[in-house]
Structure 1
Amino acid sequence: MKYVITVLLSFSLFGCSLSVPQPPIAKQTKDLFDADSDGVINQRDRCAETPVDAVVDNDGCPTFVKNSEENNIHVLFANDSSEVTESYMENISNMSEFLAKYPKTHIELKGYASPVGNAAYNIALSKRRAAAIQQALITEGVAPSRIKTIGFGDSDPVKASDAEESNALSRRVVAQVVGSQGNVVKEWTIYTVREN
C-alpha cells in the first residue's frame, strides 16, 4: 500500500507541468516616460525641457513670476555746453549694465535746454546733449540701435525757487528704462540652498 501511494504521489507531481506560461506583452501606445523629470509623463508634457527644480502645472509647464525694475539717467550740463562731466559717468555706466541685463529693452534719451537765448538754437543744443549721452552709452558697449535721442529745446523748464536754479536744472538729459523678465518659481526641497 505504501508503494502504491508513493507511485501515485510521484505520478501526480511529475504529471503536472511546473512551467508557468508567460503573460502577454502589453503594447504601449502612449509615452509614459518622463524625459525632463518634472513629474508629468511625456504624453501630457507640453513644456518638454522644464528645469528640474521648477514648480510645474498639470501640463508640465513651469510657473513664472514676472518681476521688473527701472533705471534712470539724469545728467545736468553747464550753460551752452553738451560736454558730459566725469561726475555723471557712473550713472551712464550703471545704465549700460542695466541695458545689458535686459537685452530686449531700448532707451530714449530726452535732451533739454534752459529758456535762455534763441529757441531754435536751444533745440539743436538739446539734441547735441542727448547725442553726447548716446555716444557715452555706445562707448560703454550699448548697441546704437537700442538708443533713440530727442531734443526738446527749452519747452519744459524745471520749476525752482529762482530763475538761476531753474536754468541750471533745465539743462539736462533724462531717460527712464523699465526692464522686466520672468523667473521660474523654484520648488523647495531639503537640498535647496538659500541664495544670499
Structure 2
Amino acid sequence: MPTLTMRVTVPLLLLVSSVLSGCSSTSSNGDAPLNQGNWPFCTVFGLICYALDGDDDSDGVHDRRDVCADTPANTPVNNSGCPLPQYPVAAAAPPPEPAPEPTKTETIVLSDAGDVLFAFDKSDLSESAKASLTEISQRLKGSTLTSVQVAGHTDSKGSDAYNQKLSERRAHSVATFLGAEGIPAEKVSEVGYGESQPVADNGTDEGRAQNRRVELHVTH
C-alpha cells in the first residue's frame, strides 16, 4: 500500500515535469510571435526559460527561434528573425510642366481714312504717321512681343504690278521706322499685297482712303 509520502511526491513530480515540458518545447514552427506568448503555463520555471532563451541581436525574436542570427540593429524582421524584404521607394513623379500661355494676336490699322500716311504715290512717311508709329512702338516695347508683320495695301488706281511694288515699299518704310524706334529687327517682317485685299469700295474717295493702309499684325 503506497505511503503518504509517495502519494504526495508523485503528483508533485508530474506537475514539475509538465511545467518544465511547457517551457522547453513547443509545437510552433518559428512563425509564432515572441516565445513567452506560447507558454501560458510557464510561471516560475518560465522565468528560467526566458532567461536562457535570450535575444543576442536585439531584434525582438528569441535566439532559440531566431533563424537569422546577428541581424543588424534596427532591421525590420519577421517572426523568424529574418529581415523583411525591402522594396525600392518609387520615385515621385515630376510635377507637370506649366501650360504655355495662350498666344495673343492683334491687328493695328493705319490708313489714309485718318491722317495721311504717305504722300501721293510715295513711300515716305508723313509726320502724323511717324507720331502714330512712335506711340505704337513704345507700347510694343513694353509688352511680351513675339513678332510683328507689317502689311502694305493700296487702292485700285494704277496697274496691279505698280500697286504691288508701291505696297511693298510702304511696308518697308514702316518696318524700318519700327526698327529705329527700338523694335528688334528679328521680330519684324514685311509684306505687300498691292490692291488685292480691299476693305472698302474703290469706287469712292472714302473707300479708296480706307484701302490705302498699313496693317501691323502683332503676336504676343
Normalization by structure 2: what TM-score? 0.50
Residues 1:138 and 1:170: Cα distance change in structure 2 (over 3 Å): same
1:52-82 CA distance string (max 9 Å, x none): xxxxxxxx32553743322222122233233
Residues 1:96 and 1:171: Cα distance change in structure 2 (over 3 Å): farther
Identity, % of aligned pairs? 21
2:85 and 2:184 mapped to 1: Cα distance? 57
One-letter identity of the residue aligned with 2:92:
R
Q: Which residue of 1 aligns with 2:131?
A: 86
**Structure 1 segment 54-133 matched on structure 2, within 5 A:** 60-62=95-97, 64=99, 66-76=101-111, 77-78=117-118, 79-82=120-123, 83=125, 84-98=129-143, 101-103=144-146, 106-133=147-174
Measured after TM superposition, the shift of residue 161 of structure 1 is: 9.4
Structure 1 unaligned runs (5+)?
1-7, 33-42, 48-59, 180-196
2:86 and 2:214 mapped to 1: Cα distance? 67
2:104 and 2:160 mapped to 1: Cα distance? 36
One-letter identity of the residue aligned with 2:132:
S
1:113-141 CA distance string (max 9 Å, x none): 12223433322221111112211222233
2:193 and 2:97 mapped to 1: Cα distance? 45
1:30 and 1:18 mapped to 2: Cα distance? 29
Q: Which residue of 1 aligns with 2:212?
A: 171
- Pair member with larger Rg: 2
One-letter identity of the residue aligned with 1:119:
D
Structure 2 unaligned runs (5+)?
1-43, 60-72, 77-83, 112-116
Greater helix content: 2
SS at match of 2:157: coil
SS at match of 2:182: coil
Q: Which structure has more RCO (C-alpha within 8 Å, separation ≥ 6)?
A: 1
1:97 and 1:89 mapped to 2: Cα distance? 13
1:15-44 CA distance string (max 9 Å, x none): 687984433278966356xxxxxxxxxx13
1:152 and 1:161 mapped to 2: Cα distance? 15
Normalization by structure 1: what TM-score? 0.55
1:137-159 CA distance string (max 9 Å, x none): 22233333332211122223331
Among candidates 44, 51, 75, match of residue 92 of structure 2: 44
Q: Which residue of 1 aligns with 2:32?
A: none
Higher mean displacement: 142-151 or 167-176: 142-151
One-letter identity of the residue aligned with 2:139:
N
Number of residues of Structure 1 aligned to a counterpart in Structure 2:
144
Residues 1:138 and 1:85: Cα distance change in structure 2 (over 3 Å): closer
Greater strand content: 1
Measured after TM superposition, the shift of residue 162 of structure 1 is: 6.4
The root-mean-square deviation of aligned C-alpha atoms, in Å, is: 3.6
CA contact (8 A) 2:156 2:202 kept: no
CA contact (8 A) 2:152 2:215 kept: yes
